Structure 1
Amino acid sequence: MSTSAQGPESDEQLTPVRWGVLGASNFALTVSLPAMKRGPLTQLAALASRDIGKATAAARSLGIPRAYGSYDELLDDPEIDAIYNPLPNHLHVKWTARAARAGKHVLCEKPIALSAEDAEALVDVQRETGKLIAEAFMIRNHPQWQQARDWVRRGKIGELVSVQAAFSYYNRDAANIRNKKAVGGGALYDIGCYAVNTSRFLFGREPVRAMALVDHDPEFGTDRLTSGLLDYGGAHLTFTCSTQAVPYQRVNAFGTKGRIEIEIPFNAPGDQPCKVWLDDGSTLNCSSAKVISFPAVDQYHLQSEAFSRAIRAGGPVENSIEVAVGNMRVIDALFRSAESGRWEKISPATGAGGRPLRSVR
C-alpha cells in the first residue's frame, strides 16, 4: 500500500525527520542525497564514513551539518530519527539491524539482503524494535508506476497476462562494486531485482515458481547476463538483465484487451517528463497507442518524503520489509534455477520460527 495519502495532519504540520546517512558512495552523493535534500519533511542532519576526511568532505558538499568517522558514532547520535543505508550490498542487513536497534527507522537500498533468510531476520528486528524498515525501490513512488498499476487494477488492459522487462548497461571496470561477487555484485542483484519487484507490483500477487539462465563473467564471477521467467499462475514475467550490454530499459505489460509500455521504467529522469503508452492493440504498428506524459518528478525525493511522512503521521510504507522479503525469495529461486537447470518453487515467506508473513505486494 502506498504512503502517498496523507493522514489527518498536512505536511506543513509535521516535524521534519532528521536523517543520518551511512557511507559516502558516489551514487548517494550524486543521485539520492541531493534529491532527499530537497524534501521539506526530509532533513539531512549527519553523514558517517569510516574515513572522517571523506565524511567531512561529503557532508560539506551537500550542506550536511555533522560528519562522523564511524557508523557507530552516527547511530549513537540521539538527534537522528532515521537512517538511509546505501552501503555495499553485503553490509545492508548488518547495519540496518544495528540502526533499528539503536532506535532509528531505516530506509535501505536494494537489494535489502543477499538471501531471503537474511532479509527475514530484519522482519524480526522490525517487530522487536517497532521501527520502520523498508527497501528503497524508488520506482514504486513514481506516478508512472502508480498509474500503470491503477490501469491494471481497473481492467484498462483486460486481464494482465504477461510482463516483459529489459534492463542493461555496460560496465567492465574491475574496481566497480557491481563487478565484485563477494559483496553482492552482478546483474540480478543490481538491476534484475527491478523486473521482479515491478512485476509483483503490477500483478498484486506472488509468483509460484521461477526459471533462469545465467552467463557468468569469467574474470569477475558475477552474472553478467541473466534471463528469467516467473510463473504467476496463468500469467508470466519474462526478463533479461545485463551488466555488459548496450544501455537500455523498457517494460511492457500485456493484457487480454490492451498493453502498457513504460519508456524509462527504472532510471526515470528527474528533469524531464516521462512517457507511458496505453494501447488497445487495434493496430500492429502501435499507431493506436495513446501517449500519456507525466511531469518531471524526482522519484528519490518522493521516496524519502513518503518514508518521512510515514514516520511522522503513521501508516504503511511502500516496499516494506515484508515486500522486500518476497523479492529476495524470488531472487533466491532464480539463482537456484540457474544452478539446477530446472523450475524452482517459490515457497511462502516466513519469519523466525516459521511464522507466515502477511501478503506481500
Structure 2
Amino acid sequence: MAEKPVLWGVLGAAKIARLKVIPAMQRSALGKIHGLASRDAERARATAADLGIPKSYGSYEEMLADPEIEAVYNPLPNHLHVPLTVQAMEAGKHVLCEKPIALTADEASALVAAQARTGKICAEAFMVRHHPQWIRARELVQGGALGIVRSMNVHFAYHLTDPTNVRNMADIGGGGLYDIGCYAVATSRYVFGAEPTRVVALMDRDPVTKVDRLTSGMLAFPDNRQLTFTCSTQVVPYQRAVVMGDKGRLEVPVPFNADPTKPTRILIDDGSDLYGAGIKVEEFPPSDPYLNQGDAFVRAIRGVEPLAYPIGDAVLNMKVIDALFRSADSGRWEGL
C-alpha cells in the first residue's frame, strides 16, 4: 500500500456526509478528507471549519479543478448523482457516489461509459456490504448453515413528512424505494449471490408530495428463492432482515443503521422452539461500515485490490428498481 493517503473532496454538505461519512473517513489512515464544496461559499467555509476540513470551495467546479483532490465523495440529491459523478471523473477524479447511483439503469450506464473513457474508478456507496455482520451473514447463507435457503424478508421504515426534505421531492428522486427500498434489493442480491428474474410491487404515493411513501415488493430469484420487502417513509421507524432456510433462520436485528460505536449481532435459529430456545447469537465488535467502505475504495485506487462491487453492480441494482416501478404502474410481474 502506498504511504501517501488519498485526498478526498466532498460534494455538498448533506446530512449523511456531515454526520456519518466524513467523521468515519477522517479516522482512516489510508485517506484524508481534504476539501468540501458547496454552491454557497459561506456554507462550505462554515461546514469545513466545523468538521476540521482544510479546504472549502464556493462551487463544485472549483473543487474538481483542484489537482490535490484525487477522489470525490458524492452525497448530493439523487438527480445529481450521475451528472456530477461524470463531471468529477472527467476532471480526473475517482468517485464514490451515494445510493441510489442513478434514477434509472440507463442513466447509470453513463457511469460505465465514463469509467471506460476516463480510466477513473466509480462505485456506489452501499456501506452495509462492508459491515462484518453482513459479511458473516452472507458466509453462513452461502456456506449452507441454513440448509436450502428459500426466502429473505426485509423491513425498513422511518417517519418523514416534511415536504421540503429532498427525500419527499418526487422530481429529484425522492421516495421510499429509491431511499431505503434499494437496500432490500442490494442485500438480497448480495446474500443470494444472484440476480432476480422478475419482480412485482405495490406502491402507495403521498397525495401531496407524490413520492412513494409505502412500497412492498417481491423478487423472484433462480432456484425458487424469494425476497419480500416493505419500505416506508411514513410509519414508525423500524428495520429488520431475516433469511429462511429449510434447516435454520438467520436474523439481522439492525441491518442498515447499526451504531458504529456499539457491538452488533446476528441470530441463528434452528427452529427447535418457537420461543427462541434454539437461537444462537454471534456478536461482532463495533465497526464503522463507512470507514471500511472508504478504505476499500482507496485500496482499489491504489491497485492493492479490485473493488468487490464495481460500477456494473450498481447498474444491475438499478435494473431491479426500474422493474419495481414498472410493476407498481402495470399491476403485473415485470421481468428485468
Secondary structure of the structure 2 residue equivalent to 1:246: strand
The answer to whether structure 1 residue 35 and structure 2 residue 35 are counterparts is no
Given candidates 251, 276, 282, the residue that maps to 2:241 is: 251
* 1:183 maps to 2:175: no
Secondary structure of the 1:61 match is: helix
Report the equivalent of 1:308. Answer: 298
Show the counterpart of 1:337. Answer: 327
Secondary structure of the 1:329 match is helix
Contact 1:89-1:112 at 8 Å conserved across structures: yes
Query: Separation in 2 of the partners of 1:326 and 1:14?
Result: 35
Aligned residue for 2:91? 102
- What letter is aligned with 1:136? A
* Counterpart-to-counterpart distance in 1, 2:4 and 2:250: 39
Deviations 1:300-326 (A, max 9, x none): 111111111211134322432111001
Distance in 2, matches of 1:86 and 1:345, equals: 30
Secondary structure at the counterpart of residue 307 of structure 2: coil
Q: Which runs of 5+ in 2 are unaligned?
A: none
**What is residue 226 of structure 2 aligned with on the other side?**
236
> Which region of structure 1 is more displaced relative to structure 2, 211-220 or 150-159?
150-159
1:202: which partner in 2?
191
Matched with 2:15 is 26
What's the CA shift string for 1:49-85, capped at 9, x where partnerless? 0010000001111111111101011111111110000
Q: Which residue of 2 aligns with 1:357?
A: none
Could you report, residue by residue, the CA deviation over 1:22-74 in whole angstroms, capped at 9, with x for unpaired residues?
A: 00112211111111111111201111000100000011111111111010111
Q: Which residue, out of 272, 284, 290, partners 2:280?
A: 290
Q: Secondary structure at the match of 1:313?
A: coil
| 2:216 counterpart of 1:223 | no
- SS of the residue aligned with 1:50? coil
How many Å separate the matches in 2 of 1:263 and 1:158? Answer: 21
> Match of 1:328?
318
Structure 2 CA distance for aligned equivalents of residues 322 and 86 of structure 1: 19
For 1:85, which of 56, 74, 94 is the aligned residue?
74
**Secondary structure, counterpart of 2:247 in structure 1:** coil
Q: TM-score, normalised by structure 2?
A: 0.98
Name the amino acid aligned to 1:205.
A
**Gaps in structure 1 of 5+ consecutive residues:** 1-8, 347-361
For residues 164-184 of structure 1, what are the alpha-carbon distances to aligned partners after superposition, in whole Å with 9 as ceiling and x for unaligned? 000000011111111110111
Q: Does 1:168 pair with 2:154? A: no
- Report the counterpart of residue 125 of structure 1 in structure 2: 114
**Any idea what SS the aligned residue of 2:123 has?**
strand
1:268 aligns with 2:274: no
**Aligned-pair Cα RMSD in Å:** 0.9
Kept in 1: contact 2:299–2:306 (CA 8 A): no
Bigger mean CA deviation after superposition, 313-322 or 35-44? 313-322
Work out whether residues 209 and 343 of structure 1, in 8 Å CA contact, stay in contact via their aligned partners in 2: yes
SS in 1 for 2:67: coil
Aligned to 2:4: 15
Q: Return the match for 1:74 from 63, 71, 90.
A: 63
Question: What is the distance in 2 between the residues matched to 1:30 and 1:301?
Answer: 13
Letter in 2 for 1:238: T
Aligned partners of 1:282, 1:320: CA distance in 2, in Å? Answer: 40
User: Residue type matched to 1:155 in 2?
Assistant: G
Deviations 1:95-119 (A, max 9, x none): 0011111111100000000000000
Residue of structure 2 in register with 1:59 after alignment: 48
Distance 2:304 2:329 in 1: 43
TM-score, with structure 1 as normaliser: 0.91
Q: Greater relative contact order: 1 or 2 (C-alpha under 8 angstroms, separation 6 or more)?
A: 1
Residue type of the alignment partner of 1:100: M
CA distance in 2, matches of 1:319, 1:264: 22
Q: Is the 8 A contact 1:225 1:243 kept in 2?
A: yes
- How far apart are 1:283 and its partner, in Å? 1.6
